[in-house]
Structure 1
Amino acid sequence: MVVGTVGQNWRDLLKDLSFQSLQVGEMDFRHHNQVLAIKWKDKWEVQMLTTKHLPTVTQYTTRTESKMKPHAVFGYTANMGGVDISDQLISYNPMH
């Protein structure tokens, strides 16, 4: 199972998905075999590939408002904390 972000200029992502302009809170997706490509916009556009999630959204509440977020974003965020901490610790002691 794979969940991850994809850069905006990734060549092999479906072209109709990468050129689609979204408003805040909108989501677009494409499915190919077992891979789901999702594009979602909150403050900025996020493109993700996942083999684990369906193209469904969940409502979440911030201090000031209620928003909709794809399940894939929740899964990615929940599991990236350890990688971010690891990257931060490695940056303090670069090996050359």
Structure 2
Amino acid sequence: MLCESESGYVWNFVIYTGQGTMFDNDYEDLPVSSKIVMTLMKPLLKKGYCLTMDDYYNSPQLADLLTENETDVYGTVRVSRKEMPSGLKQEKLQKGGMVAYKRRKVTAIKWKDKKDVVLLSTVHNTEMVETEKRGKLVKKPKLVMDYNNTMGGVDKVDQRLQDYPLTRKRRKRYYKKIFFHIVDFALWNSYLLYLKSGGEATALKYRLQVIDETIKKYHTPMMSSK
């Protein structure tokens, strides 16, 4: 899913169907993870957006491609990715230590917290910022702080859709699961737009109102059960 980071609005999504998954033909030569990103982002390229993603998708090659399309990116990255600096893997750090490498616009850093955290960015450098943790001031890379603050869009959608799911776990027919999942997305997006326009109802009350309005508009005596 591609979501707006603050609200969780679902901008685009790809339904995974194994080898038959449909990607944009312009990106057929890319790795699967990069195909997903570029297919989702294609309508937003060259518009100055900044994309946050986790280590399954992120890579130096993808960062270069997005930069060429006037789109910035940052997020966690696997140290084993192609073109990642070998020094990131070899360097042993003490807690709070950091090592960084830069290539053109792409910066890769490794920072030691409880464990090693490896990130890649086209908009950050090695800047450190202070933050409060358990009543104490500690320093963290600004890249880590920004990543933590903007990575929650997809998580927010997943959490909220679990509250009132239309899709039943035991439903066997996959096409019905897909259909109801898409309806869930539509309800979630419409609820966010409702809030943005001044609405104050809870998610549950909003859903019940949608049900009432749908019944009023489409229900007829011929549809009544006997």
What do residues 23-50 of structure 1 show as CA deviations (whole Å, max 9, x unaligned)?
A: 1111110010000001001111111110
1:22 to 2:93 alignment: yes
Equivalent-residue separation in structure 1 for 2:83 and 2:161 (angstroms): 31
Structure 1: where are the runs of 5+ without partners? none
1:44 to 2:115 alignment: yes
How far the C-alpha of 1:62 sits from its partner, in A, is 0.9
How far the C-alpha of 1:64 sits from its partner, in A, is 4.7
Q: Is the 8 A contact 2:102 2:108 kept in 1?
A: yes
Give TM-score scaled by structure 1 length: 0.83
Could you say which structure has the higher strand fraction?
Answer: 1
How far the C-alpha of 1:89 sits from its partner, in A, is 6.2
What residue is the counterpart of 1:35 in the other structure?
106
The secondary structure found in structure 2 opposite 1:76 is helix
What residue is the counterpart of 2:130 in the other structure?
59
What do residues 69-89 of structure 1 show as CA deviations (whole Å, max 9, x unaligned)?
A: 001111111111112233556
Q: Is the 8 A contact 1:27 1:41 kept in 2?
A: yes
The higher radius of gyration belongs to: 2
How far the C-alpha of 1:10 sits from its partner, in A, is 2.3
Aligned length: 96
Q: Which amino acid aligns with 2:147?
A: Y
Equivalent-residue separation in structure 2 for 1:87 and 1:29 (angstroms): 33
Q: Is the 8 A contact 1:60 1:66 kept in 2?
A: yes
Give TM-score scaled by structure 2 length: 0.38
What residue is the counterpart of 2:155 in the other structure?
84
The secondary structure found in structure 2 opposite 1:12 is coil
The secondary structure found in structure 2 opposite 1:55 is coil
Q: Which amino acid aligns with 1:34?
A: K
The secondary structure found in structure 2 opposite 1:3 is strand
Q: Is the 8 A contact 1:58 1:71 kept in 2?
A: yes
Structure 2: where are the runs of 5+ without partners? 1-71, 170-176, 179-226
